[in-house]
Amino acid sequence: MLRRPPATRLALPAAVLLVLGALSSCDQADPDPGPDPEGAAADLATGLAGGDLAEVAFTGTTGAEATAVLEGVTEGLVAGLGEVSPTVEVTDVTDGEGGTATATLTWSWPVGEESWDYDSEAALELVDGEWRAAWSPSLVEPSLADGEVLDATPIGARRGDITGARGQTLVTQRPVVRFGVDRSAVPKAAAVAAARRLAALTDVDAAPYVEEVRAAGEKAFVEAITYRREDVPVALAREYGSVPGILAVQDELALPLTRDFAAPILGTVGEVTAEMVEEDPESYAAGDVAGLSGLQARYDDLLRGADGVVVDAVPAEDAEDAEDTERELFRVEPTAGEPLELTLDPDLQIAAEDLLAEVRPASAIVALRPSSGEIVAAANGPGTDGYNIATFGQFAPGSTFKAVSTLALLRAGLTPDSPVPCSSTLTVDGKRFTNYSDYPASALGRIPLRTALAHSCNTAFISQADRLGGTDLFDAAVSLGLGLDHDLGFPAYFGSVEPPASETEAAADLIGQGTILASPMVMATVVASVQRGELVVPQLVRSVEVSAPDGARPLGAAEARALKTMMRGVVTSGSGSGLADLPGPPAIAKTGTAEYGSGTPLRTHAWMVAAHGDLAVAVFVEDGESGSRTAGPLLEAFLRAAR
């Protein structure tokens, strides 16, 4: 709104005003008062806000020249604030003497969720019937002098920690050292030589890094690699300072306890990608640091916080005789990110990862508390190549699925003592099924269902396929936590029990093959549900409320007791005997082997699940000899370490 000094007025009757108006029309018209300065002030405000002063009249310079100077004054500010534009309004115009006026301009720069507001003044002069503005840096900010420009420097927000069981810190800001080549320190040839030497001292691929340094600008810092401070190689630490051009920059990054700690699940933090900026320009700008994968990416809004910024007046790079000082004009303090609370127990997670460290095939260990569903370990072995198969893998579970099949058969009318035929082979619709290679001959023939489970007789379970129909197997799976997907706040695969398309598939489903798929997490859930006697729902992210999915039939008390007793038999007289001498409460278990692939012989997944006290565990090895021989020792070692 324009505000002009009020003029003195007399209150005259309307009739008198009409007479005066009529008389004045007979006299000679008053001289044209000339253009109004408000229009020139409005044009100046519009040009300043848009960064284009080409149509604005100035004294002593052209609009194009003023535009170039304006760009230089605001370039560092706009870049630091993220390519924003100010709002500039004329809030007052005051007439002066001798064809002069002063316009008050109110500026507002968006700075994150705040705004930087201030007033500047523009001197206007009537020249040859046209109002013109006098250019000065103080038009942009009232304290700016010639040779000064605006600059904005982001203040990074501290990223929120990720915590685990008992509030222990899993991920926090930790000191790192960034090694790279400083192009401003040496000529191009020396920079290229420094790049080659730096690559030789690290694990960096030399050829692409050298080309990156060669193509970089003269002021660029071309990062090669970042190390935790304690992990900097001795040779690099000893030599980098003697190679001109190599620069070590001290910094902090959000990092877990160890380099590999729950890495596929927690994810990474780093500089945002061009794709992230393109997809969400309101949240990210080039150079921002954010979660790139895993939980760090999914909960980035919570963890990232809000960066601050400091706006300074600094000497222009080409300014002569300018003092090399900077003045702070405005500051917004950063807002730290919020913590993300997980259920992972760092001791158990590290124990699981240590056990998998030497396992060459893809492997995983998942452990959770039957009493609460809290996932206390979700470890992926190095053979997974960074993929999270612990909670999201999709594999045939083999005979560990017989816990589900047993529940379905109990519901179909069998009891643990019901006799079932366990033969060496059984053919279904032309498909020949066998037991595992070293199945004990003493457990062949008509045996109780409990014995068939303890020794994992495939043919005995397949022989009962005609007792089940419709959704019987699926319903039993859902009662133990397998088969119904629901969001837990992290990547979780709950498995699949599809209707069989043939008698052969129906037979294979009963022994955990055919259409059946599961993750290590969901198989740990199955054994946890047996141990607890009711459906267990896994939880990893404490802020996410979890509950049983709709459609899950409750596990009956008698069913739970029967299942638990039968799975105890796997330990006392079956394939899980390695757990028989565990100290403490009695363990329950089930081993499993699942054939896959198309070679001869077929490759096999090795599984074992167990519960011991308030700990339920699933171990998976993608290529193994058998559940008892490959997964069993890992599971036993984990349970002993957990105590």
pLDDT value, residue 320:
60
- The pLDDT assigned to 282 comes to 80
CATH number, domain with residue 487: 3.40.710.10
Q: Confidence band (pLDDT; 50, 70, 90) for 167?
A: very high
Q: Summarize the confidence of residues 210-223 as an average pLDDT.
A: 95
Taking a C-beta distance cutoff of 8 angstroms, is the pair 240, 246 a contact? Answer: yes
Q: How far apart are CA 42 and CA 58, in angstroms?
A: 14
CA distance 231 to 331: 36
- The whole-number pLDDT of residue 473 equals 97
Q: Which residues contact 419 (CB under 8 A, 6 or more apart)?
A: 446, 447, 448, 449
Q: What does DSSP assign to residue 343?
A: -
Could you count the other beta carbons within 10 Å of the beta carbon of residue 414?
Answer: 18
What is the model's pLDDT at position 438?
82
Please name the residue ranges forming H helices in 463-556: 472-479, 503-510, 520-532
Res 15: pLDDT: 35
> pLDDT tens-digit profile of 426-458?
999 999 999 988 889 989 999 999 999 999 999
Q: Report yes or no on 454 lying in a domain.
A: yes
Domain count, the chain: 3
Q: Are residues 466 and 569 in the same domain?
A: yes
208: closest CA among 227, 222, 228, 188?
222
**pLDDT band, very low/low/confident/very high, at 240 (cuts 50, 70, 90):** very high
Higher pLDDT, 153 or 322: 153
Does the residue 483 lie in any domain? Answer: yes
Question: 289 - beta bridge partners?
Answer: 271
Residues 552 and 604 in one domain: yes
Return the minimum-mean-pLDDT range out of 172-181, 270-279, 491-500. Answer: 270-279
| C-alpha neighbours within 13 Å on the C-beta side of residue 496 | 13
Query: What b/e string do you get for 526-562 counting C-beta neighbours within 10 Å, with b at 16 or more?
Result: bbbbbbbbebbbbbbbeeeebebeeebeebeeebbeb
Asked which of 136, 153, 170 is the last residue of a domain, the reply is 153
Q: Picking from 32-46, 129-143, 449-463, 629-643, which range would have the lowest pLDDT averaged per residue?
A: 32-46
Residue 1 lies in a domain: no
Identify the domain containing residue 60 by its residue range: 37-153
Whether the per-residue pLDDT at 608 is higher than 70: the answer is yes
CA distance 628 to 592: 8
Please report, for the domain that includes residue 110, its CATH number. 3.10.450.100
Tell me the per-residue pLDDT of 66-78, one tens digit each, with 9 for 90 and over.
999 999 999 999 9
Same domain? For 353 and 218 the reply is no
pLDDT in tens, 545-583: 998 888 889 999 999 999 999 999 999 999 999 999 999
Contact 407, 527 (CB under 8 A): no
Any residues with CB less than 8 A from the CB of 488 and at least 6 apart, and which? Answer: 537, 538, 539, 540, 541, 544, 546
Cα distance between residue 405 and residue 196, in whole Å: 61
* Whether the predicted pLDDT of 534 surpasses 80: yes
| 325: in domain | no
pLDDT band for position 203 (cuts 50, 70, 90)? confident
Helix axes 37-50, 63-81, angle to 10 degrees: 50
**Whole-angstrom distance, CA of residue 282 vs CA of residue 280:** 5
Shared domain for 601 and 455, answered yes or no, is: yes
Q: How far apart are CA 151 and CA 541, in angstroms?
A: 41
Q: Are residues 478 and 508 in the same domain?
A: yes
Does 23 have pLDDT greater than 50?
no
The amino acid at 344 = L
The pLDDT of residue 322 is: 53
SS (H, E, C) 50-97: HCCCCCCCEECCCHHHHHHHHHHHHHHHHHHHCCCCCEEEEEEEEECC
Q: Are residues 247 and 390 in the same domain?
A: no
Average pLDDT of span 336-361: 97
Q: pLDDT for 401-410, tens place per residue?
A: 999 999 999 9
**In this structure, which amino acid lies at residue 435?**
N
Q: Tens of pLDDT along 28-64?
A: 444 555 688 999 999 999 999 999 999 999 999 999 9
The sign of the torsion formed by the CA atoms of 596, 601, 605, 607 equals positive
| 197: in domain | yes
Is the same domain home to 396 and 292?
Answer: no
- Given 122, 153, 184, the domain boundary residue is 153
For residue 129, pLDDT beyond 70: yes
* Amino acid found at 555: L
Which alpha helices (DSSP H) does 202-252 contain, by range? Answer: 206-215, 234-239
| pLDDT at residue 5 greater than cutoff 80 | no
Phi, psi of 241 (to 5 degrees): -65, -20
When pLDDT is cut at 50, 70 and 90, the band that residue 633 belongs to is very high
Q: Which H or E element spans position 512? A: none
Q: Name the average pLDDT for the chain.
A: 91
One domain, residues 70 and 198: no
What residue spans of 166-290 are helical by DSSP H?
A: 188-201, 206-215, 234-239, 263-266, 274-279
Residue corresponding to tokens 């032309």: 430
Is residue 626's pLDDT more than 80?
yes
- Find, among 123, 131, 77, the residue nearest to 104 by Cα: 123
Which stretches of 82-220 are DSSP H helices?
A: 188-201, 206-215
Domain termination site, one of 129, 153, 177: 153
Q: Does 298 share its domain with 363?
A: no
| Cα R_g (the chain), whole angstroms | 37
* pTM, full prediction: 0.84
Question: Does residue 21 form part of some domain?
Answer: no
Residue 601 has pLDDT above 80, yes or no: yes
Residue 5 located in a structural domain? no
The predicted pLDDT at position 265 comes to: 97
Query: CA-to-CA distance for 80 and 68, rounded, in angstroms?
Result: 19
What is the tens place of the pLDDT at every residue in 367-394?
999 999 999 999 999 999 999 999 999 9
143, 205: one domain: no
Q: Are residues 404 and 527 in the same domain?
A: yes
290 is a domain residue: yes
pLDDT value for 30: 47
pLDDT surpasses 90 at 104: yes
Judged on CB neighbours under 10 Å (0-12, 13-18, 19+), 423 is middle
- In CATH, what number is assigned to the domain containing residue 236? 3.90.1310
pLDDT tens per residue, range 291-334: 999 999 999 999 999 989 999 999 998 766 555 688 999 999 99
Q: What angle do CA 74, 80, 81 make, to 5 degrees?
A: 90
CA 2 to chain centre: 50
Q: What is the pLDDT of residues 408-430, one digit of tens each?
A: 999 999 999 999 999 999 999 99
Residue 207, both tokens: 């050829």
* pLDDT number for residue 14: 37
Q: Clarify whether residues 249 and 142 are in a common domain.
A: no
